[in-house]
A = this chain, B = another copy of it.
Amino acid sequence: MPPMKRIVMKFGGTSVASPAHIRDVAAIVKTVWATGVDVAVVVSAMGHETDRLDDLAQTMGTKSGSPEYDAILAVGEQVTAPCLALALQEIDVPARSWCGWQLPIMTTSRFGTARVESIEGQGLIDDFHARRTVAIVTGFQGIDAQHRITTLGRGGSDLSAVLLAAAIQADRCDIYTDVDGVYTSDPRIVRQAVRLKTIGFEEMLELAALGANVLQARSVNAARNHRVPLRVRSTFKPDDEGTIVSGILTQTASSDEDPPMELRKVTGIAHERNQAKITCRNIKDAPGMAARVFGPLSEGGIIVDMIVQTASVDGETTDITFTIPRKDAEETVDILKRNDIPESHIIVDRNVAKISIVGAGMTTSAGVAATIFEVLAERSINVEVISTSEIKVSVLISEDYGELALRALHHALIENGA
């Protein structure tokens, strides 16, 4: 890689949880700054401060979506940023804090889940040129055209960092967090999981969407769209290389010295518990029936994932099966009932887990799918639903076998280098 000239560093809530943590972050920033690169830092609120503010706002009797709610939620970062600026000044690094409105970061007026429309980075760049001043920017927030404070929703600080990196043409955006990178699977479940040295944007997107907790899909998507390489690394092990998310090939950390010329077939395996399976039985097999099921759900904001339709023996009715977030199960049933699907025809199964195998190197999903069926069959695990995309195969199984399946598939597809 060519030498870096400018970098955005983002620190989450656990990284800035206390004054001592903030001083540690200042030391990390100084190390990077001392190498001669321009540094902009994006910070989250300290520890659980946003949750506290959220509780306070709820107590005052509001639902999210109100500008007043966003104004309350946004102050957490407005404390962290000047605290970090002070900590840097204490160790002789020129630094200044910026609120979203000071840059400004302009957003839509969709309070609570605003979309960033533009970021003006010239103030930061002028400061870089004048005195190599480190810019500390409040994550998670901006202002709308009426100059009211908006927030970007959960994980918004990562997004702020990525978009700021794009705005100031940074060479990279480093996301410092409490994990040390992206793993082939959840190391708490799969002991053999290894850290990836690099991963492609698309694969990271799939893993993020599957709840891999490291990065949110929204931020990865923004990074891909703006061609901003990300590095996920640990605040608590700052010398550790972490995982680079970019447009280049996926590698595991262990392949450091001898990078493989060939792409790995499978990059990661994710495991999602918070799913429910809904089956609507004996739906009349006529045009428009599927729309009658999924149209109202979409309008109700229910995200439907895997869908399978099976023709019945008589050819006149059909069963439709799909998955939804578990928390939406009751509402889903309500919506279906309101749309003339009798309750007796609706079956809800909360005891399911989704296992997803992600890899840009799966030239066709068929080979991987075959291995999946084989591995699961050997252990008598029934595949209830399967869905495939170009770089992903997902299977829905009984939750009872979730962890067993995850380990078995990791062994077959990653440890054995399938």
Contacts and interface: CB of A to CB of B under 8 A. Distances in A.
A69 B86 contact: yes
Contact of A83 (B22, B57, B90, B102): B57
A344 interface: no
A96 B68 contact: yes
A225 interface: no
A60 B79 contact: no
Contacts of A82: 57, 67-69, 71-72
A278 B56 CA distance: 51
A68 B86 contact: yes
**Secondary structure of the A side of the interface?**
helix
Interface in A30-74: 53, 56-57, 59-62, 66-69, 71-72
A147 interface: yes
A27 interface: no
B75 A60 contact: no
A123 to B, nearest CB: 9
Contacts of A149: 99
A86 B111 CA distance: 14
A102 B56 CA distance: 23
Given A57-B83, A61-B90, A96 B72 contact: no
B19 A56 contact: yes
Given A22-B60, A60-B86, A60-B87, A75 B75 contact: yes
Contact of A147 (B71, B79, B102): B102
Interface string A266-299: 0000000000000000000000000000000000
This chain's copy number in the assembly: 2
Contacts of A68: 82-83, 85-86, 89, 96-97
A101 interface: yes
Contacts of A19: 56, 59-60
A133 interface: no
Contacts of A85: 68
Contacts of A60: 19, 22, 83, 86-87, 90
Nearest to A78: B75
Contacts of A353: none
B79 A66 contact: no
A81 interface: yes
15 contacts: A19-B59, A53-B79, A60-B83, A61-B89, A66-B89, A68-B85, A68-B86, A68-B89, A68-B96, A69-B82, A71-B97, A71-B99, A72-B83, A75-B79, A99-B149
Given A71-B97, A99-B149, 14 more contacts: A19-B59, A53-B79, A57-B82, A57-B86, A60-B87, A61-B87, A61-B89, A62-B86, A67-B82, A68-B82, A68-B85, A68-B96, A71-B78, A75-B78
- Pairs of residues from A and B, 6 with the lowest C-beta to C-beta distance, nearest first: A68-B82, A71-B82, A60-B86, A61-B90, A19-B59, A75-B75
Interface of A: 19, 22, 53, 56-57, 59-62, 66-69, 71-72, 75, 78-79, 81-83, 85-87, 89-90, 96-97, 99, 101-102, 147-149
